Structure 1
């Protein structure tokens, strides 16, 4: 099959190809078909990326991200609102992992399993967030 004009242009420019694919996959693709009930996630990619930029500097759970974005405590979200975390995972976290921007770390087994997310080096190389301020070092108690 012959390459399209765009494919020919992007073949020699891997960074531009990645940016094109990321924009299409993250923003233009409707991920609701991957949910059980066609769930759509209400929100904005600018806000999602801004929160993830700050929170995933160190390992962060999807419950923490949902708590910051949508309100509620992490414990309540983990216990009662798995539907929200599953929808957020499918629409935001998994695509960011697939594009190489986040890394998912799984700890534990069964009902005790937890997923933590951290930014990869590609995050800073590929994204310029506005304002792209480096998060302050986490406060350790």
Structure 2
């Protein structure tokens, strides 16, 4: 498994990680409320989902934006709330008990060491998390993190898009006036499984001109 360089707890580079901030928000809420409330199906309840949206590190996932699409906010309506729930289970940061998710004392201690906490989150999210959970397709393109990171480490210096990376990795390009399923399958995979996780963790910075479609994201 790829190992990270140690990051000091006070290093400002950690502030670029929106996922770290979302996890810290969840821990803060759990501490203040004696845990995180659960539904009967053991999803995070609406009260917490709404709170996570109110405190979202992502503008596009803030309450005002999400409520344009939803009458109420469930866990699955707030993308980072769902990912945080998945990760705290996968990383064994606590457990479901008596209608709440309780953060363990060990996890609370780790959260006080911001650099180590980030490393655990990043390792779990990149290498253990099932990113297909957030995908619209079951398609899986060939490749692994050694290949993806080595290429992105070079290409991202000057900025890249999903389209650029798909061409570099697989030799596929968008053709004008043609709906190319193979091309869009690869673009979707690269975004969901590679670029979005790296951006959420802060390894990449995503910029756009206000649009969310592929040609405008860098």
Same fold at TM > 0.5:
yes
Seen in structure 2, the aligned counterparts of structure 1 residues 75 and 45 have a Cα distance that, compared at 3 Å, is: same
Matched, 1:26 2:126: yes
1:8 Cα shift?
A: 3.7
* 2:140 alignment partner in structure 1: 40
Seen in structure 2, the aligned counterparts of structure 1 residues 95 and 8 have a Cα distance that, compared at 3 Å, is: same
Give unpaired runs (5+ residues) of structure 1: 117-141
1:96 Cα shift?
A: 0.8
- Measured in 2, the distance between the counterparts of 1:4 and 1:70 equals 44
Conservation of the 8 A alpha-carbon contact between 1:32 and 1:38: yes
* 2:187 alignment partner in structure 1: 85
Seen in structure 2, the aligned counterparts of structure 1 residues 112 and 102 have a Cα distance that, compared at 3 Å, is: closer
Matched, 1:58 2:158: yes
1:42 Cα shift?
A: 2.6
Q: How many residues align?
A: 114
Higher strand share: 1
4+ aligned runs moved over 4 Å, structure 1:
108-113
1:111 Cα shift?
A: 7.2
Cα RMSD of the aligned pairs, angstroms, is: 2.6
Conservation of the 8 A alpha-carbon contact between 1:34 and 1:90: yes
* 1:130 alignment partner in structure 2: none
Deviations 1:19-54 (A, max 9, x none): 100011111111112222333343111111111100
Rg comparison, structure with higher value: 2
Q: Secondary structure at the match of 2:151?
A: helix
Pairs within 5 Å for 1:92-107: 92-107=194-209
1:3 Cα shift?
A: 3.9
Q: Give the structure-1-normalised TM-score.
A: 0.68
Give unpaired runs (5+ residues) of structure 2: 1-34, 36-101
1:75 Cα shift?
A: 4.1
Conservation of the 8 A alpha-carbon contact between 1:106 and 1:113: no
